[in-house]
Amino acid sequence: MSASPEILLLAMRSLPHGPEFRFVDRMVSLTPGVKGVGEYHVRGDEYYLRGHLPGEPIFPGVLLVEAGAQVAGMVAQEDPANPSLPRLKLTALRAVKILGSARPGETLRIEAVITGRLGSMIQAEVSAFIADTKVLSAELALSGTGPAEKQ
């Protein structure tokens, strides 16, 4: 069951990133602590597209991974069974496959499923799509400062 519009907005507010490093425009669905889907529209005016690749800009693969980590982080932070983790960060990558990319005018659909959690470590599987074409699959780990730990 997906979360209410209010929870979707709260999840977006849980991202610690500034606007220039946010690769999720909106959450489409969220099952707190379990899975979620976000979207990012590649506008074409992003600063990093000027140099990647001049004349034929594409959304960088490493930023596809970051978008997946951001969606996974929002899913994990909204888990009602666990406290949120301050300073949640991407800490490990595995089985990353960049199968394509997005171009200006296209919208990425980013999906994340939490596959495990142990203390302040979260494991997730993420995928990104342009329409029905998968452009990313990855397993990743996020870790944060536990609620009782000092930052």
Catalytic residue numbers, as ranges:
52
3-class SS of residue 95: strand
Residue 110's contacts (CB-CB under 8 Å, 6 or more residues apart) are 23, 24, 37, 38, 39, 40, 67, 68, 70, 71, 126, 127, 128, 129
Angle at 141 between CA 18 and CA 94, to 5 degrees: 115
Q: Which of 26, 47, 32, 6 is nearest to 108 (CA)?
A: 26
